[in-house]
A and B are shown apart, each in its own frame.
Chain A
Amino acid sequence: MAHKIGKQTIIIDSPVGVFSAAAVGSKKEGEGPLGKSFDIINEDSRFGEKTWEKAESKMQELASWKALHKVGLEMKDIDFIFAGDLLNQCIASAFSARGSKVPYIGLYGACSTFAEGCGLSAVFADSFAKNCLAIASSHFCSAERQYRFPLEYGGQRPPSAQWTATAAGAALISREAGPPYIKAVTFGTVEDLGINDQNNMGAAMAPSAAATLSQFFKDTYTDAEDYDLILTGDLGAVGSVLMRDLMAREGFSLGENYNDCGLMLYDREKQQVESGASGCGCSAAVISGHIFPKIASGELKNVLAISTGALMSPTSVQQGETIPGVAHLVCYSSEKGGIF
């Protein structure tokens, strides 16, 4: 059974791991440096659907279908679905789960959703569930129309802006599965250091990522050097610089082993995405498609994946509110034995 250590960290005791995972993306993601890591790339960003919202649901369906298909399981073998996205009332997730007949737990953690889902799945699989499915998605076109401008509206993006990834990731987290094994989970606190520019979400989210990561180090008596890779979700170029600064203030120095999914998904110069990628689908697809296979093969041993979410809404931004952030951490390992 999972147990809590320190202030916020949950240790997963039984061997719980990622049984299978899949990443789905569209044209721009396929053209990026991680294009080959995706299981499914659909050049048509509408995924054959009439609306962008339906397209996003379709991506979730494809990702979960692919993850199950890889290990020969079906929806009836799943105990719980944890899913989330960026759309109002989380419709992409709910609509993709409506045919599954599996207990559905809808999550909203903005772009932190994938870690939130994987963390909750691990806790559930460590106690009474056998198979849990964690899914997260985002779609550039459905996010733009909800948060910003119509697609064909002509405008320029500031250098701190990020590009919402059209991507989905699904991870099947099961008891007696792995590698990657899930060793620990730290759910983060909501942090707000007063950033109110929604074109600078990396800066808004960096304090929450730093708060969660430093708390995890304190709870587990470990340091950055103990991990092969420390990966934040979508802080982008601006946020990841701030992340290093904030961690240094807390007394932890992040070295070459630190990276950010938002910096990995696209070629920032060539693909003109300014500060990098963002969206629930960014960390979901990068971790599912690119990081999990590396942990499974043993190329990476101990990995901390911290998905970061900016918790604003178009209404709160218009009302002049600052942007709070939240970050959840999942600790993966290629080895079965305990590391804490």
Chain B
Amino acid sequence: MSLSSDEYKKMGEKAVPKTKSIRNLTGAFLIGGAICALGQFILNFYLDLGLSTPFAGTACSITLVGISALLTGFGVYDKIAKFGGGGTLVPITGFANAVVSPAMEFKSEGFILGLGVKIFTIAGPVIVYGILASVIYGIIYWIMGLL
């Protein structure tokens, strides 16, 4: 082919249809907002039961993760995510989906080398760099305290 890759890239950009931003943003706003509203509802429920604020927050997270894991198992979560996009990815429910879905998928290669190894394929980087960031934050916090 007698054209450079830069020329071809320009041709390619013209051929690719634009992402439907308005539709995607609306979906993310609605679904993301609905998940957060559900979270608030659950939090209030635990506070009403008499749990202290930190415990109610933890219980709320556990409940949301549980619901997300169940919906992933029933094959519903990916359908919501198809509509919700970033709205399902950002809340804690997206993290649960990212752990449960590879666990289901790779069970066919066994519980050790399949499920055990692959369960963090997607969530792994989040955990690794999340912990790393918290360590760095902790060190900075400690140094600041010494000053």
Residues of B within 8 A of A245 (CB): 11, 15
Most buried by A among B12, B88, B122: B12
A52 to B108, CA, bound (A): 9
Partner of A151, one of B3, B5, B105: B105
Known: A159-B16, A242-B12. A152 touches B1 (CB 8 A): no
**Which residue of A156, A211, A246, A249 contacts B82 across the interface (Cβ within 8 Å)?**
A156
Assembly CA distance A246 to B11 (angstroms): 9
Q: Which of chain B's residues has its CB closest to A154's CB?
A: B81
Stretch in B42-50, B70-78, B135-143 touching the partner:
B70-78
A interface residues, tally (CB under 8 Å):
34
Closest to A189 in B: B1
A160 at the A/B interface (Cβ < 8 Å)? yes
Contacts of A50 in B (CB 8 A): 108
Write the nearest CB–CB distance from B95 to chain A, whole angstroms: 11
CB distance from A248 to the nearest CB of B (A): 11
Contact of A160 among B3, B5, B11, B16 (CB under 8 A): B16
With A150-B104, A153-B102 as contacts: A193 and B15 at CB distance below 8 Å: no
Which residue from B6, B16, B97, B104 sits with its C-beta under 8 Å from A203? B16
A155 vs B8: C-alpha distance when bound (angstroms) = 29
Interface string of B1-32 (1 = CB under 8 A from A): 11101101101100111111000100000000
A242, B122: Cβ atoms under 8 Å? no
Q: Please give me the residue from chain B that is nearest to A272 by CB atom.
A: B82
The interface centre, meaning the residue of A52, A154, A158, A242 with most chain B CB atoms within 10 A of its CB, is A154
Closest to B17 in A: A159
Bitwise interface map of B from 98 to 135 toward A, beta carbon under 8 Å scored 1, else 0: 10111011101000000000000110000000000000
- A residues in contact with B82, CB < 8 Å: 154-156, 272
Report the bound CA distance from A241 to B14 in whole Å: 10
Q: Which of A193-211 contact B (CB under 8 A)?
A: 193-195, 200, 203, 207, 210-211
Task: List chain A residues, Cβ under 8 A from B122.
Answer: 149-150, 153
**Chain A to chain B: the 7 pairs with minimum beta-carbon distance, closest first:** A154-B81, A194-B5, A150-B105, A152-B101, A150-B101, A153-B101, A193-B8
Can you name 8 extra interface pairs (CB under 8 A) apart from A246-B11, A322-B5? A154-B81, A154-B84, A154-B88, A155-B82, A193-B8, A238-B16, A238-B17, A242-B12
